A and B are shown apart, each in its own frame.
Chain A
Amino acid sequence: MSGLYDGWILEHSKAPRGAARLEGATHSARRDNPFCGDRITLDLVVRCERIVAVGFEARACAICIATGSLLTSLAEGLAVDDVTGLVESARAAVDGTAAEPPAHLEPLALIRTVPTRRRCATLPFEALQGALEDR
């Protein structure tokens, strides 16, 4: 676990970006991790098939909150069609199936060192995909 809690995870979890529900959200989803009781609710504002704002509220661990925070910067400005790609690459970065994650997903590779916590990091991405699919 060396390094897990001395870099971006701690920073983002202490001052998460976009950690609030969005007024006027066009899409929302809630996801639970039954393993640990983490819960995240993610809101999106989508205009012209593009995500213009992301907000989330989490009752969750530092890893989940930090990944949610990271996600908001990755998803804002993204075309709806590109979300599946982002979610898949994020998952691959976390579980190690992508040997070299792309630079913007590099931080997620840290989670590989704690296999029991991978779901904590993928939960926000599940919520992102869910928000677009749940409708």
Chain B
Amino acid sequence: MALDVRAVRRAFPGIRDGEAYLDTAATAQKPEPVLERLRWAYVEASGNVHRGAHRRSALATEAFEAARARVARFLGAPSPQQIVFVRGATEALNLLATCLGALRLQPGDEVLVTAMEHHANLVPWQLACARHGATLRALPLTAEGALDLSRLDDLLGDRTRVLAVTHASNSLGTVNDVARLAAAAHAVGALCVVDGTQAVVHGPVDVSALGVDAYVFSGHKVYGPSGIGALWARGELLEAMPPYQGGGEMIATVELAGSTYAPVPHKFEAGTPHVAGAVGLHAALDYLEGLGWEAVRAHEQRVVDHAEAQLGQLPWIHRMGTTRPRVPLVSFTVDGVHAHDVATILDGCGVAVRAGHHCTQPALDHFDVAATVRASFGVYSTLEEVDQLVAGLRRVREVFG
């Protein structure tokens, strides 16, 4: 069944004809079912979780735990108890770098990242390495914007404790073979942590099949609310890692002399969680999977193919990241015009794109550019919007003559 894009667009009140929203990789628009469930959470399930004996508290607890089970199913995680709710991918990766760092990193150890990581999967590891006297290494990129796997054997060794890699690049679109990378990490006794933020929204993910050790994503990029995200990690890792933050919810017993911690995942969820966010995320995952992955993939591929073909006609456009398979986004520069000026003029033409380094400075350094324009697509994107982008780019060239 092909995706009924008109129906999809009607489900998103933030999507309006004439306004091309081509920045879904930065944050996705929200469909009505998500907005409705957010309202429900604040109106009906409006008690605190895991406390209080009253009806609203019970409803909130039930909805929060149901969302956890939904996320587990979304990721192919063996158990809902291996899902930790967090603010987003950034918090999840900080948690992992901090807690895995404390568990595994010793002076002289190494952490391997890649040159295409979002700063969220780079800076936390820099901090962890500095804290534990470990060394950070980075797998370089090829000219097409893929990982240079010919360097893997040099860089991954018996000192490597963690390989932290993105499943899909938010600035280049590259999809990485994380199953292969995880196997390589395991072969030297390292763990493989995966940033799934840009991947989970474009196709099914099964963490068990990938064989990775931890996987994270943000709710707002899968058509869900902001301020909520999820972390999956192997049960034994969650058990072994020390807590991240202290406070309510995460304890078993507290005495002035010391405390014991709640069982996982609650050990990592200090304080009142974002219940409405989790409920909204549950609705977003239902909505997305309800569209059918086959249909979503086919539609997004059609849109990005059209974009690549159209941009390919413009000799003054230079693309960064041309590998396949890719997530549906195009990143490029315009001859003689800075990416930010391009984005401002496009905004005037009703086209929303992202300009900048997309929080991936090392990846852009690799291409020797300071900023690119990025158009990213989602379930509501249309071929007409791509045409509007191309018309806007022609306008940019006119302005800068």
Once the chains are docked, how many angstroms separate the CA of A35 from the CA of B399? 24
Q: Is the CB of A36 within 8 A of B348?
A: no
Q: Is the CB of A36 within 8 A of B371?
A: yes
Chain A CB within 8 A of B123 CB: no
Q: Is the CB of A63 within 8 A of B400?
A: no
List residues of chain B with CB within 8 A of the CB of A59.
Answer: 370
Q: Is the CB of B356 within 8 A of A5?
A: no
Chain B CB within 8 A of A117 CB: yes
Q: Is the CB of A61 within 8 A of B347?
A: no
Question: Contacts A6-B399, A10-B400: A39 and B370 contacting too (C-beta < 8 A)?
Answer: yes
List residues of chain A with CB within 8 A of the CB of B361.
Answer: 37
Shortest distance between the CB of A34 and any CB in chain B (Å): 9
Chain B CB within 8 A of A60 CB: yes
Chain B CB within 8 A of A120 CB: yes
Within 8 A of A (CB), among B343-382: 344-345, 347-348, 355-357, 361, 364, 370-371
* A residues apposed to B, CB below 8 Å: 1-2, 4-6, 10, 35-39, 59-63, 114, 116-117, 120
Q: Is the CB of B364 within 8 A of A37?
A: yes
Shortest distance between the CB of A14 and any CB in chain B (Å): 8
* B residues apposed to A, CB below 8 Å: 337-341, 344-345, 347-348, 355-357, 361, 364, 370-371, 399-400
Given A36-B355, A37-B364, 4 more A-B residue pairs with CB atoms under 8 Å apart are A1-B345, A5-B344, A10-B399, A116-B344
A-B contact pairs, 20 of them (CB 8 A): A1-B347, A4-B344, A4-B348, A5-B344, A6-B399, A10-B400, A36-B339, A36-B340, A36-B356, A36-B357, A37-B364, A37-B371, A38-B370, A59-B370, A60-B370, A61-B339, A61-B340, A62-B337, A62-B341, A62-B400
Shortest distance between the CB of B394 and any CB in chain A (Å): 14
Question: Contacts A35-B356, A37-B364, A37-B370: A114 and B399 contacting too (C-beta < 8 A)?
Answer: no
Once the chains are docked, how many angstroms separate the CA of A36 from the CA of B340? 7
Shortest distance between the CB of B371 and any CB in chain A (Å): 5
Once the chains are docked, how many angstroms separate the CA of A120 from the CA of B355? 13
